[in-house]
Amino acid sequence: MQRRAAAIYVAFFIVLGAASYSVIATATAPTVEFDNPDHRLSQGDQFSVDDRQYTASSISAETSGGGGGHGGGGASVTRSGELSWTNDTARYTQTWEHNATVTYQNETYRVLVEDADDPASFQLVEEINRTAILQEDSAVEDETVTVNGTEYVVRQDDDGRTLTPTSEYFPTPGSTNYAEGDSLRFQGNTTTVADVTGEGATLAWTAPRTNTVSVDNEANVTVNGQQYFAYFPDNSTLVLESDYGVYQRQTNEMDTYHEHVNGLWGVSIVSFSTAIVLLGMAYMPSRY
């Protein structure tokens, strides 16, 4: 009678454990899906936010962990991306320091700010490459000499050695004056002399500039004042969703699913363990 009752309970717990396990085996785990997001992008795709056009310039996935050897954990994938947009009228500036050399229209010039308490103009003075000129003239020596404080170019001809003052031999450097508000062509742009101080002259111009916005997975990103929730469903797709609740509701469903699965695993384990214990107790030899 004792074994018959035990057999009934064992069958009950086996059926209960098997039922719980079958539910686990046949259940489908929910996943995060955005059926109609604000933007679903692949690398190179473009979209607009308040008349500003953006490009999904990069989408990447980096794998870490999961190396060989004992005790290694599973590999994890970190997904990220970058959005870019172009400001066609970005402001650029560059300062030409006083007494420094600059390259302008493929020539070298020295910047000389006017000597005044509140300077408003500067001068570009052509830099004469004396070494190159001397080397190109086969009739003179490559180096100048100084005699009684005067610098000379040494010319050697059939009549002997002749000294020519450098002020007479080298060409007079060209110069151009610029004042605040003047325009000039610089690096292919129409440039304005925005400010002149004793330290130098500041040039300003407008030209296109590419700006970038970094995007992390499952994080908020602000695009032209609009906040989106960013999600990478795979290694080549970026989803931007302005309604964070869509994602939160699905993650709540996933958490609930995992809680239920864990509970069913507990029922299965306890049921099978109880059945084994009961079966063992039923066949223990009696002391009487």
d(C-alpha 207, C-alpha 187), whole Å: 10
Q: Is 13 helix (H, G, I), strand (E, B) or coil?
A: helix
Give the distance, in angstroms, between the CA of residue 106 and the centroid of all CA atoms in the same chain. 33
| pLDDT reading at 257 higher than 90 | no
Q: What single DSSP character describes residue 49?
A: E
Could you tell me how many helices (H) and strands (E) the chain has, helices first?
4, 17
**pTM score above 0.75:** no
Per-domain residue ranges of the chain: 1-63+75-88+213-283, 92-209
Instruction: Indicate the residue type of 230.
Output: A
Strands (E) across 198-280 are located at: 200-216, 219-223, 226-234, 237-241
What is the DSSP secondary-structure string of 141-160? -SS-EEETTEEEEEEEETTE
Q: Is-contact 14 272, C-beta < 8 A?
A: yes
160: left (phi over 0), alpha (psi -120 to 50) or beta: left
Mind listing the pLDDT tens digit for each residue in 117-173?
999 999 999 999 888 888 888 888 888 888 888 999 898 877 778 888 988 888 888
Residue with tokens 């990478």: 232
